[in-house]
Amino acid sequence: MENHHKTTDFTDALRDGIPVHIDEVENGIKCNCICPSCKQPLIAYNNPKNKKAHHFQHQSLSDCRNYYETMIHYWAKEIINELGELTVPKHTFELGNSPRDYTYHKWNEDYPKEKITPVKIVFDKIFIEKHQNGIKPDLIGVVNNRQIHVEIAVTHFIDDIKANKIKSLNVTSLEIDLSDIDRTLQKEELKRVLRYGNISRMKWFNNKAINQKKTESGQRKSTVREFIFANMTEKKVYGKAQDVYKCPLFKTEYDITLHNCERCQYFVSTNETYEGTQEQYDNRETIYPKLSIHCIGHVASKFDALLTENGVTIGENRAFKGGLSPR
């Protein structure tokens, strides 16, 4: 198709607010179409005898700049309405399965880990540009009596005023970013973009369910953390070999060392205390720290049960991962 780049020559317009193709309308001014962007009347050039490709032109011959952006916006609404479904980002929050994921500051910041996967929503009903509590989203999709506002951003993203309303009303709102879409794209191609779940283009501006899941996940993390702090025991680390005695999980013919403990899934932390005298400090003597570990091995099965209860997947052979084998 040759003429896509010329803004005064185009093949799609609006009739009674609905996108129509040049070949669906009457010839000339009788087409009763307006430009989606400037809303000015159009003339349809679609006489079958015409050698030139069928197209619309502004009656005023004005050079209309936002034609494609506006058309893409109309099409996107129409396409979603026709499809009746949308593949959107699903957010899940995962907690770790090791005490270190809950206690060490540096490590536990990563948790709950947010994962985003695609999920298809089939709408029970879709409303186009319906006012709702002072917000007029591009679409409102209804699923199980829950409303999802859908905003299509081609040139305009959700502004501050709308953002404040969305947040204060706690409306679930999805923004689809089509700002980088090729301006010569045709409806069928846009349909492909929207149908096959381009979740990288989508962002939940606000989502009640996700907010709730995130809060719950944070609460679960606190519960597990409290368990660890309430139950962990301290064991001294002895000598140069850094032996740890009385492991509650393994009785081995070898000594268990700090090295082994650090590889166990019930290990909490290594603690160092420096107990030098003033004289030693003054003489710049090297003072070796006294070492101990914190461990929840004696409540291992309780800990695993707590994790499972809180939706955490736990692996097998959690004690001495990669370390000693039991005798």
Whichever of 62 and 200 has its CB closer to Zn ion, that residue is 62
Detail the DSSP E strand segments found in the chain: 12-15, 18-21, 42-45, 55-58, 85-94, 113-122, 125-128, 139-143, 146-153, 173-177, 202-206, 233-238, 243-244, 256-257, 267-273, 290-295
| Candidates 37-45, 47-55, 75-83, 136-144; binding stretch for Zn ion (CB under 5 A) | 37-45
CA atoms within 13 A on the CB side of 263: 11
Please work out the total of residues on this chain that contact Zn ion, with binding judged by CB under 5 A: 4
Q: For residue 193, how many other CB atoms are within 10 A of its CB?
A: 18
> Considering beta carbons, is residue 24 or 69 the nearer one to Zn ion?
69
Residue span binding Zn ion (CB under 5 A) among the ranges 33-41, 140-148, 193-201, 228-236: 33-41
Q: How far is the CB of 40 from Zn ion (least distance, A)?
A: 5
Measured from the CB atom, the residue of 37 and 292 that comes closer to Zn ion is 37
Q: What is the nearest approach in angstroms of Zn ion to the Cβ of residue 39?
A: 7
Tell me the angle at which helices 208-231 and 300-309 cross, rounded to the nearest 10 degrees. Answer: 170
Q: How far is the CB of 70 from Zn ion (least distance, A)?
A: 8
Q: Which is nearer to Zn ion, 57 or 87 (CB)?
A: 57
Helix or strand run (H / E) with residue 300: helix 300-309
Q: What is the smallest separation between the CB atom of 311 and Zn ion, expressed in angstroms?
A: 54
Q: Where are the beta strands (DSSP E) in 16-122?
A: 18-21, 42-45, 55-58, 85-94, 113-122
Question: Which residue do the tokens 């090295």 mark?
Answer: 259
With contacts defined by CB under 5 A, name the span among 29-37, 78-86, 179-187, 219-227 that binds Zn ion. Answer: 29-37
Question: Cα separation of 95 and 222, whole Å?
Answer: 11
98 binds Zn ion (CB under 5 A): no
Name which of residues 54 to 93 contact Zn ion (CB under 5 A).
64
Q: Give me the count of residues in the chain.
A: 327
Query: What's the closest the beta carbon of residue 29 comes to Zn ion, in angstroms?
Result: 15
List the one residue from 38, 43, 163, 185 that touches Zn ion (CB under 5 A).
38
Min CB(156)–Zn ion separation in Å: 17
Q: What are phi and psi of 26, to 5 degrees?
A: -70, 160
Nearer to Zn ion, 7 or 92 (CB): 7
Q: CA 3 → CA 7, 10, 53, 189, 252, distances in Å? A: 9, 7, 8, 17, 80
Looking at beta carbons only, is 67 or 227 nearer to Zn ion? 67
- Give 10 or 93: the residue with its C-beta nearer to Zn ion: 10
Distance of closest approach, residue 159 Cβ to Zn ion, in angstroms: 23
Instruction: Say which residues have a Cβ less than 8 Å from residue 49's Cβ, sequence separation at least 6.
Output: none
Site for Zn ion contains 37 (CB under 5 A): yes
Q: How far is CA 253 from CA 180, 247, 264, 324, in A?
A: 65, 12, 18, 10
What token pair was written down for 55? 């197209």
Nearer to Zn ion, 35 or 307 (CB): 35
Return d(Cα 142, Cα 128) in angstroms, integer: 12
State in angstroms the smallest separation of the CB of 67 from Zn ion. Answer: 6
Contact pick of 35, 80, 166, 178 for Zn ion (by CB under 5 A) = 35
What part of residues 224-283 is at the interface with Zn ion (CB under 5 A)? none
The DSSP H or E segment spanning 227 is helix 208-231
> Whole-number minimum distance, CB 37 to Zn ion, in Å?
4
- 59/133 with CB nearer Zn ion: 59
Interface with Zn ion (CB under 5 A): 35, 37-38, 64
